[in-house]
Chain A
């Protein structure tokens, strides 16, 4: 079965600084990969997804992620953090054969003024 490891349960950056949230995956087949964001007391909102097309994926709100097969990674980045980016971020891996999606434990992003 596939799985995801998110390195760092809490990341704190200053407003305007680079955001880097780390995600490594394990999968027995070429995976689909996703990043979701969750604001307090809400469901999950899709930021971006990789489904075997371009390895550099651009998402909403200026976020992007790069699929690196050799490193089994799918790290999320944003060049300049905004206060509104403060939230919980989840990396997820899906098995394309059965649409079975599994999530990491999440990374809480704090943005300091």
Chain B
């Protein structure tokens, strides 16, 4: 049973560019949450998608946007990249109606902005 898959694992972008990160949830999960983890910090909640809609959003600017597809996979888009966007981006999946279930995390995408 495949867990959460994120791609790519690493990428380097130039300041001002745009980036798209992808996430395939664990089989049976229908909810995807995205987190940003800066070096030495805890994961910061970006947003959560369920039924192809953004359900919750953390304190991130509109440069951060997302999408969820009918197969529950998700994308995170970041526009106008800043040096401060360099971080590990984690995707977590869960089953929306099973509220006491924990998240399953992917291994993350390491984004470096130069």
**Interface set of A (CB-CB < 8 Å, partner B):** 6, 32, 34, 36, 41-46, 49, 51-52, 90, 94, 96-106
Contacts and interface: CB of A to CB of B under 8 A. Distances in A.
Contact of A43 (B33, B40, B102, B107): B107
B43 A90 contact: yes
Interface of B: 4, 31, 33, 35, 40-45, 48, 55-56, 90, 92, 94, 96, 99-100, 102-103, 105-108, 110
B31 A99 contact: yes
B25 to A, nearest CB: 13
A113 to B, nearest CB: 24
A30 to B, nearest CB: 11
Given A44-B90, A44-B105, A99 B99 contact: yes
8 contacts: A32-B99, A36-B105, A42-B108, A43-B105, A44-B43, A103-B42, A103-B45, A106-B40
Nearest to B6: A43
6 interchain residue pairs of minimum CB distance = A51-B100, A43-B105, A103-B42, A44-B105, A105-B42, A43-B107
Contacts of A103: 35, 42-45
B29 to A, nearest CB: 11
